[in-house]
Structure 1
């Protein structure tokens, strides 16, 4: 369930990196690249940047796996191939599969109206199943409700969640635009339960996990370390355990637990036609405003990966399948203090034979005077990427804000070099002009790309 500020910041700063990334293939063997990726992931874990499980297949054949960090910091339990993570909104692809199966069995259609199930929800007579699947219903996202934090850790009934969703005013007319809303998939989860007359966890098991022998994938409950389930963490000078969402709160929008191998195998099975028909899969993959039916797509150069991202508590996940060459990437994490997108790029670069750089975390941050920091204040723009960035000094720190985005604090590592580690962002300013005492430009480095910015004002 993508609602966390930290994850949003990662996406804000990272969104150009994957799109614009393109490099020549380095003359190294895959074994050399793989060893470097091992070092990269271990370095991040050892420096409290991220803890991960990575599993990659090529047309269903295992190609790479790596596990770094701790499933339980308190118990010193390492992440392993067996470790199970909450996969957040990757659950939506599972829910969409169950809906498409119902459609194939003539129990539903994409045109079925929501008022057949929940007539009291505003616009229910105009909202159809396709609107819910594609986030085009106009229903407010209940996880954006300020009260969500007060009830997310406690058991929620269908009646309680529907009552909340029913009480929101529509954000737009059904079908008129796309806006991501977890409410859509909570409703779909309850519709599945209604049509099968079974709890969602039983339908998931019968229709997906049991036929595919995904023994480590299921509708989650309270985290049990003894059952190979990971806790999640946030970083505040050290890893701090994150509160647990009660899995009745996300339901069909984000309640599944899985390990990296099982998640990967689910997507292989989906794209190999083992879960839905070719027509259903094509409908899921047809994107409008960047989203299909329980599925999105992420570019890597000219390549396209279909799948989903997820975030719940301190967990972050990504699953992507390239239909052109069969490469299937799964990255799961229970602790993120770094740009998750940077990790995905490193994995993808390695799989396609590109070299990656090992981050150097040995540098120590320094404190600069407000007089020095003020030389970087102003607005800058680039001809390489369509974004303007503004800098200002606040409470003794240099702040930055991309146009239309949230503000982030920068940490100084020299008199001209600044970093924002949660996004893997490095900014190298030009030396301030001696007469104006202003820097006239900088180079932004992220995701293997370097982008030059010049002062506008």
Structure 2
């Protein structure tokens, strides 16, 4: 449910040769990730409806050493929003709802409900505050909530902005859309997904989640701090159509291929879904890769991370789901796309330089820049360098070269220049230079 959007760097690409798909190098990438215990999850690549690559590594249950397989099922977080959007457009095509209708008859207690449309909910232009951003969210996220309770939680906050004046990601929008669907059809969201998407497409591993059941090939999620630690479970009554779907990569590529081939909604509806306004579509985002433009969504809930994209020009689908990662999913997606589009990519070595505690002293301090929104405090914990951005948790850094450190899980690189008291932070293709106070 977290806002985790795959943005791949946009460059000029050459001619595509799908027949030269670099399976061997991908296999070596996953061999390295598994040997170094840097990633747990599954991937699938499909061209024109046919799987051309799958891989699963890691463990479903670390504590019992239960290994991951292609049958493993994951919570896919905000990829759920694509399912919700499809259901909304189905309802619109059935003339049960319209994009322009306002939501006051459903949620009279929500501020500006008489101005907010279903379309505004779909493309995050409602102004409704994102409930998962509130500090108290973590206190109740593992407890079941009724629709009445969730509506009250969402309604108690004031609007963040006037409806349709800008866009800002909010899980609240898609929780409310789920309830609109349930009221419209007089059926549960679970039943609607099953009858209108899962059953028609013959998906075998996709459904609205509940408590994790490893006996049915579901997996737990983990975060890493010296060892894999099991994450708490969000109760799926809370995110519902904003983030409660369970699936796996082979089902996900089938879902998105069916969406783009007209098996779920009309071409006109898909075009509306794909239309970007302030970088948001209606349950979908653009995914650029060099000169190619794909469409899809990412997801994050508990320790699960996922990404799904489709490139219409190549009829290419790529899906990744993980239940534990140190090496970023985004880097794996780049490798998968590079293997297909015949582009060079470098496999990691995970070489780490061992430093003494006193070696870290030259880097310690608080770094800031007028052009960077956060201050970064650099501290140490024995022989480990730590970084902490304003208002966020501290994270460990690994030394990769002299004066160079990484936090691979978030794709962050820090390069220090002690002579001039500066630190360069590199993330997502952006570079900022901060100065030590």
TM-score (norm 1): 0.85
Alignment of 1:175-214 (within 5 A): 175-214=164-203
**Aligned residue for 1:148?**
137
CA pair 377-224 structure 1, distance change in 2 beyond 3 A: closer
**Aligned residue for 1:72?**
61
The equivalent position to 2:379 in structure 1, one of 387, 394, 397, is 394
Alpha-carbon deviations, 1:33-81, whole Å to 9, x = none?
Answer: 2111112123223323211211011121211111111111122222111
Alignment of 1:105-120 (within 5 A): 105-120=94-109
TM-superposed CA distance for 1:26, in Å, is 11
The answer to whether structure 1 residue 245 and structure 2 residue 245 are counterparts is no
**Aligned residue for 1:342?**
331
Q: Hey, what's the Cα distance between the residues in 2 that align with 1:450 and 1:137?
A: 29
Does the 8 Å CA contact 1:391/1:399 hold for their aligned counterparts? Answer: no
Alignment of 1:137-286 (within 5 A): 137-286=126-275
Q: Hey, what's the Cα distance between the residues in 2 that align with 1:312 and 1:62?
A: 27
**Aligned residue for 1:421?**
408
TM-superposed CA distance for 1:307, in Å, is 0.8
CA pair 343-387 structure 1, distance change in 2 beyond 3 A: farther
**Aligned residue for 1:19?**
9
Q: Hey, what's the Cα distance between the residues in 2 that align with 1:183 and 1:453?
A: 35
Q: Hey, what's the Cα distance between the residues in 2 that align with 1:47 and 1:340?
A: 15
Alpha-carbon deviations, 1:253-282, whole Å to 9, x = none?
Answer: 111101111111000000001000111000
In the alignment of these two chains, the number of paired residues is 435
**Aligned residue for 1:412?**
399
Unmatched tracts of structure 1, length 5 or more: none
TM-superposed CA distance for 1:352, in Å, is 1.0
Does the 8 Å CA contact 1:96/1:133 hold for their aligned counterparts? Answer: yes
TM-superposed CA distance for 1:417, in Å, is 2.7
Alpha-carbon deviations, 1:359-385, whole Å to 9, x = none?
Answer: 11243431353786249986789xxxx
Alpha-carbon deviations, 1:217-257, whole Å to 9, x = none?
Answer: 11111111110111111112111111111110101111110
Does the 8 Å CA contact 1:390/1:400 hold for their aligned counterparts? Answer: no
- Which stretch of the first structure deviates more once superposed, 337-346 or 393-402? 393-402
Alpha-carbon deviations, 1:172-220, whole Å to 9, x = none?
Answer: 1111111111111011101111111111101111100000000211111
Does the 8 Å CA contact 2:41/2:57 hold for their aligned counterparts? Answer: yes
Q: Hey, what's the Cα distance between the residues in 2 that align with 1:140 and 1:388?
A: 21
Q: SS where residue 117 of structure 1 aligns? A: coil
**Aligned residue for 2:2?**
2
Unmatched tracts of structure 2, length 5 or more: none
TM-score (norm 2): 0.89
Q: SS where residue 80 of structure 2 aligns? A: helix
Q: Hey, what's the Cα distance between the residues in 2 that align with 1:28 and 1:173?
A: 47
Across the aligned residues of Structure 1 and Structure 2, the Cα RMSD in angstroms comes to 3.3
TM-superposed CA distance for 1:450, in Å, is 11
Q: SS where residue 48 of structure 1 aligns? A: coil
Does the 8 Å CA contact 2:365/2:379 hold for their aligned counterparts? Answer: no
